[in-house]
Amino acid sequence: MSEKGISLAVIKRLPRYYRYLGELLENDVVRISSKELSERMHVTASQIRQDLNNFGGFGQQGYGYNVEYLHTEIGKILGLDKKYSMIIIGAGNLGQALANYSDFERKGFVLKGIFDVNPVLKGVSIRDTPIMMMDELEEFLKKNSVQIAALTIPKSKAPQTAQRLVKLGIKAIWNFAPTDLHLPEGVVSENVHLSESLMRLSYSLKSKEEDPE
């Protein structure tokens, strides 16, 4: 069930609001009207009012939204007021790219370790986080409380690795392998399927070519 009966469609839009409000904060904007926010986000002002009214009392007629308050409240709904520990499984280019995003840490996702099967990578560190070998995983997760695992490994290995992680207590899997994981109740996942994203781009491109406005 979603927060206070907020629809899943609204919840899905929250990260985008959070990002825009964060940018406004960085630029020292104290408040913003739904009209201004609408122009920046290329969303109708009425959509914005509808979405944000779900949280009640954030906007005031003729005054606009308090940017910092709204940013904080949306952050809380998204769970960003908490700290989560994360590991990355797979230290290839994609795993290393994730390990290098300092922005995740600022949002409360603390990288605790990176795991791979390639012995060449053993002991190498990325931003002070060591790369360990997969056979050290059990030992590591016994000693460290970790909630999130990012999976950047081949499709063929993803399902059994996910099962192994779940057994070890991982509660959330951020899956980059091009396959859907079927996980037990109580474990959540979010997929980043790059290939599907590229196909959607290809569809848009083809549609434009066939039917240019």
| Separation CA 106–CA 115 (nearest Å) | 22
Burial of 153 (0-12, 13-18, 19+ CB in 10 A): buried
**Cβ neighbours around 141 below 10 Å, total:** 20
For the chain, the straight-line distance linking the first and the last C-alpha, in angstroms and rounded, comes to 41
Residue 38 binding its own copies, by CB under 8 A: no
Distance CA 113, CA 136 (A): 11
The smaller minimum CB distance to its own copies, of residues 60 and 202, is found at 202
Tell me the C-alpha distance between 123 and 126, whole Å: 10
Instruction: List the one residue from 52, 70, 77, 132 that touches its own copies (CB under 8 A).
Output: 77
93 assigned ligand-binding residue: yes
Cβ(109)–Cβ(148) below 8 Å: yes
Residue 102 interacting with its own copies (CB under 8 A): no
30 is a site residue for its own copies (CB under 8 A): no
Tokens of 102: 């300092």
* Backbone φ and ψ of 202, nearest 5°: -60, -40
Letters for 159-178 (x = contact with its own copies by CB under 8 A, - = none) are: ------------xx-x---x
- Answer yes or no: is 8 a known binding residue: no
Task: By CB under 8 A, tell whether 129 contacts its own copies.
Answer: no
4 DSSP 8-state letter: G
Question: Site for its own copies (CB under 8 A): which residue of 1, 57, 61, 120?
Answer: 1
Residues contacting its own copies: total by CB under 8 A: 65
Of the pair 91, 137, the CB lying nearest its own copies is at 91
Binding residues: 90-95
Binding interface with its own copies (CB under 8 A) = 1-3, 11-12, 14-16, 18-19, 41-42, 77-80, 82, 84, 92-94, 96-98, 100-101, 103-104, 107-109, 147-148, 171-172, 174, 178, 180, 182, 185-186, 188-190, 192-209, 211-213
